[in-house]
Structure 1
Amino acid sequence: MGELIDKLRVAESFSKAASTYDSVAALQRNIGHQLLEMLSSHSQDSQSGHTEPASILDLGCGTGYFTSVLRDRYPDRPLAGLDIASGMLAYARTTRALDNDVTWICGDAESLPLKNQSYSLVFSSLAIQWCENSSMLFAEMSRVLSRDGIACIATLGPQTLCELRDAWSRIDDYQHVNQFQSLAQLCKALPDDLELIETECEMRVLHYPQLKELTCELKGIGAHNMNAGQAKGLTGPARVKAFKAAYELFRTSEGLLPASYEVYYLILRKR
């Protein structure tokens, strides 16, 4: 399969968005906190008895927001934050008041620069949707997890920003919106030694008075179209006007424009 997601663009886009990300990432924070609640419920319901993880990896740590939350939750455990965007890591290092036990690592989730069985908990909120090769991603996740280790993941499904995709589809046949994998595709990519022990799915719909607020928010978090072969030079005034008119068809009776996010929550255990 040819590369569908431009990893260099992913890294550059999120690096540039480091200073603005936290100010517009309310949805991302909400989803990450829900993922932590799901992890807590799993830990409390565990039949085998709950023990705190020996070491934690925040995979796709971004600005370090949840790295900091994980440090508060597990204050005495070795903790690492890994991200492909060097700009995000630089921001995290300088803005998060974390102790020296936190290790910041620049790396690709599909080729982790980490030792085998080095972490007992992998936390990853809204990061793995930028990985094209899910089989490689999960194989790497399994490799760095210790025996009975847990991977706690939130990611986005293909219905994410369906209104945006639909509006553009009325204008041309190019791919203007990131396309993410389905839950079935993700589950099919799991190796035999990673067991899916809990999953939840939900649709979250945000609303905006004007389309510009949505597009500015997407720019603020760095979530541009990362697909290779995307349309270039096709966003002139006439096309943009037509696109805005197409999106207006979604305006609700309350006078707001919706933007939908399909969210998957997964808890995996290393067999």
Structure 2
Amino acid sequence: MSERTVLITGTSTGIGLEVAVGCARAGWRTVATMRDVSRAARLRAAVEAADVADLVDVRQLDVVDQASVTAAVADVVDRYGRLDAVVNNAGAGHLGTLEQEGVDAVRAVMEVNFFGVLRASRGRLVTVSSVGGVIGQPFNEAYCAAKFAVEGFMESLTPVAATVGVTVSVVEPGAVASEFVANVGIDRDAAVADAGAYGPGLRAYLRRTAGAFAAAQSAADAAAVVVDAVTGATPPPRLQTSAQARQFVGTKLADLDGTAVTTTTGAWIA
């Protein structure tokens, strides 16, 4: 088959689902993966509605299971003869790989399973990160630390991958209207009560965050940036999905001593 092929992780909802639909609309053979394919109904309905179901191949892939990744990628290449792009959208799962299997295992997954085939097609690796991968945010220490690690990993990898013809990019959404926040699963009142001396600050932060997500970008709009990074002209190493995200990230990139960022984020919890 001659279609260019993209493999996308985390496609059951939100940005990943919209990226799968968008890539298929662009004419790409789209391998849409998720850990639990019993949750594929929403994706299947979306690709049917978009009249691209014939281009979408829904598969099981658990990104914290190296054997699962190896088998899935090998099967894709065997069936379609090529792999032109990979979209790492299931960020939490990939970070779980770092935690559970160590850096050597992650390197093996990336090198053996992705770069071997991406080199052959001079392909693209696109990772969905977050503005939280650039700016540390109150009460998000662990999340932001994980996203910082992803950004550092990919930024370091970019020039190395370029020597063998592979393009690496990270995409940084801000607030997106998806199930991501709901999936965090916290009881806000209980969290504030348990925060002790930090309770007032946490309450202020949750109020501010609720306001930000009330005006959140749609998952489809955020996904359009990812789709363009896969299917369009060669993307830069870093992309934001909205003007608000660009402005926010720009604060950090111009902030040599860190005071602009901490003044901004400090005001969220004052």
Q: Which has the higher helix share?
A: 2
Question: Quick one: higher RCO (CA 8 Å, sep 6+), 1 or 2?
Answer: 1
TM-score normalised to structure 1 length: 0.48
TM-score normalised to structure 2 length: 0.49
